[in-house]
Chain A
Amino acid sequence: MMHWRARRRLSEYLDGSLSERAQRAVAIHLDACAQCRRELAELRATVQLLRSLPELEEPAFLATRIEARIEAGEAAPTWRDRVRDLADAALASNWMPAASAVAALFVVATALQVQVNIQLPWAAAPPQVPQAPAAAPAPFSAPSFSPPPVTLVSRAEVPPGATPVRERRRFDHFVLQDASGVWRACAARPRDAECRSFRRQLVDLALEDPPVFVNEVAAFPPASQERVLSAISMEAARAGHAERVVVRLRGLRDPRVEGIVVRLERPAPSRE
């Protein structure tokens, strides 16, 4: 096994989570490489330091305080929660007209609230009406209809010949387990904060650990590699790291790098 490959597997080797074959290959490399042996020993000691941190005790009366806040109605579902529950239930039951109606209701309600908030400064403060103490809320606000159960499994778990898993865009990141799945979900909603963070992580990875980055990119389906690299290229340019990424990648002796670098250097499209 090559040195860089063994080195990036040391952490998993330590946990015993590699396959038997990979575990053996790393062990063989360790036998011959003093640098990796030293690094493994330091990693082992670091992990021991982490695991030696003591369990922290919670402050006294924490549970009592939580119960008091629940009794005071602080955990009651808001109207936003209720609308969201209805929308979720409608989507899960594939009742799209209902989902659309609920979404429209949500938009209108939000707009109305914004309007109310704007008008409030001109209005007189409402009189304080003494209220009876709020009763403990029911723990669940069940929607008025029950959706059929939806079982989400990873692609790898679908037995051959079984009914194909129906993918829902909003559930992609549950259904798919690998990075390409995350990407597919992100391709559908590139402005999502999580997806922006995902792109930033890929740029960080390219800077910190180029071999792992190349492997991650190579794992994407060929059809989506172009879009992935284009998004990473834009993110790197935005962060001012584009040149450094290319330099780090060119430093690798990996035949896959050239194809990646060429696509990273291509001018970014006008739209994500």
Chain B
Amino acid sequence: MAFVTEPILPRTGATAAPAAADAQAIDPDLSLVARWRAGDVVAFSELVRRHQRKVFGMLARMLGDRDDAADATQETFLNLHRHGHRFRSESRFSTFVYRVAVNAALNRKRSQTRRRARTEEFAQGQQIGQALPFTPRGPEDAIGGGEVQQRVQRCLAALPEALRAPVVLYDIEGLSYGEIAEILQIAEGTVKSRIHRARHALRRELADLAREVGAAE
């Protein structure tokens, strides 16, 4: 029974999953949110500075491009400012921010798809070899990092959207199943099932790297 006592994979930087009732007590943003609601502009700036890195990082992993992620981060905070009154203190403010950010990423993806369709239509009318006005960049150009990290990012980008968001939020952002369910507006069981499917898909794509990592331990 070697596996019973085997330690569970630790999550570095993971957000502890708070019970709903405790969310208000431990949410460090609530005082700033209250000041912002009272009309304090500085409080909103402070909230932006507090969350911009997490939001940008998550969007860069979701969209696979730094420039797109920067634009989507701006959209996120503008939408947050516009719809902030919809935030209820039953959940953490950071969860609400992630939810707005995921919506911004989905909107951006939709507009990218439309743009790409227009580009392809344009390309069909061009002669072979003529430069296109818009050439989508691969994630390796767009985010940077080492060779291994680029490959992981490429595989992440190849996942279907429904699977990518849960695995990014869980394994990279360190959120809990409950928080992800709230952000994506799906059942907790569905979150688990999608993380499971995403990890298996990545395992198949990264099998050689995974074996190297396993052997190095």
Contact = CB atoms under 8 A, between A and B. Distances in A.
B189 A57 contact: no
Contact of B207 (A42, A63, A74, A181): A42
A42 B210 contact: yes
Nearest to B216: A45
A66 B77 contact: yes
B9 interface: yes
B119 interface: no
Interface residues of A, number: 73
A55 B53 contact: yes
B192 interface: yes
Given A11-B200, A15-B9, A49-B210, A58 B77 contact: no
Nearest to B69: A56
A53 B60 CA distance: 12
Nearest to B205: A46
Contacts of B160: 204
A59 B213 contact: no
A43 B199 CA distance: 7
Q: How large is the interface on B (under 10, 10 to 19, 20 to 34, 35 or more residues)?
A: 35 or more
A31 interface: yes
From DSSP, what is the main secondary structure of chain A's interface residues?
Answer: helix
Contact of B78 (A42, A55, A69, A208): A69
Contacts of B23: none
A42 B203 contact: yes
A258 interface: no
16 contacts: A8-B196, A10-B196, A17-B177, A28-B1, A42-B203, A42-B210, A43-B200, A49-B152, A49-B206, A49-B209, A58-B57, A139-B44, A151-B90, A177-B188, A179-B189, A212-B193
Interface of B: 1-4, 6, 8-9, 11-12, 36-37, 39, 41, 44-45, 48-49, 52-53, 56-57, 60-61, 66, 69-70, 73-74, 77-79, 81-85, 90, 143, 145, 148-149, 152-153, 156, 160, 162, 167, 171-172, 177, 181, 185-190, 192-193, 195-197, 199-200, 202-203, 206-207, 209-214
